[in-house]
Amino acid sequence: MIQKQLLIMLFTLSCAIYAQGEKLSPEQRQKHFFEEGQKALKERNFNRAYNFFSVAQNGYGPNKEIVSKSIKKTDSLKVIIRADQRQKISGNWKMLTTESWAMRDPSDSIVGKMIAIDPDQILFYELYDKAKKWNLTKTEKIIFSDKENLTSDPLLIVYSNKEVWHYYIEETSGSLIATYIGEENENGISELVCGNTQLKYFKLQ
């Protein structure tokens, strides 16, 4: 089963978008998606607007003016969406997910993991048994990938080792979900479609 909840949501939105335009000609579809993007933009639904403009620029009609305008819209919206994402995920988060480290010998076991996120970076910490403070294990700058991906998602974060992760706040629980997407390379992002590692965190006060 695909574990990337965002991927599922984006696919669902994509299906809805296609359903809206499937009876139209390519020219009409392109115009329709662009107009829907404009409507979402006026409603300040930036994520939805971004998705409509992304579709409008990707081969659904011959109108080069619409393609050009859509590209400019997505470039501008990407900045807004990413800035908003940086603020949303900021904070101190303790891991809930049970991992193999929890099964290690008690003498050197990790008894907790947490991350501290600010708008520019993610700090990764581990807490060892009998230790008095959290140990900083690595730091990753928040760099959003501009490589092509399956869902045109502008919020994929690429680590220094080229691993690509997606972070989002689960609406029902308020938990932070970090999902491993794949690896960035010179041709784009090699993405997993199932068996993705997913980590869950709760926010510390």
pLDDT at 22: 58
Mean pLDDT across 75-81: 96
pTM: 0.81
pLDDT at 14: 53
pLDDT at 130: 80
Query: From CA 9, how far away is CA 46, in angstroms rounded?
Result: 16
Is residue 74 helix, strand or coil? Answer: helix
The beta-strand segments (E) located in 37-153 are 91-95, 110-117, 121-128, 135-141
pLDDT digits (tens, 9 = 90+) for 112-164: 899 999 999 999 999 988 888 899 999 999 999 998 888 889 999 999 999 99
Tokens at 102, concatenated:
């929890």
pLDDT at 6: 40
Would you place residue 103 in the very low, low, confident or very high pLDDT band (cuts 50, 70, 90)? low
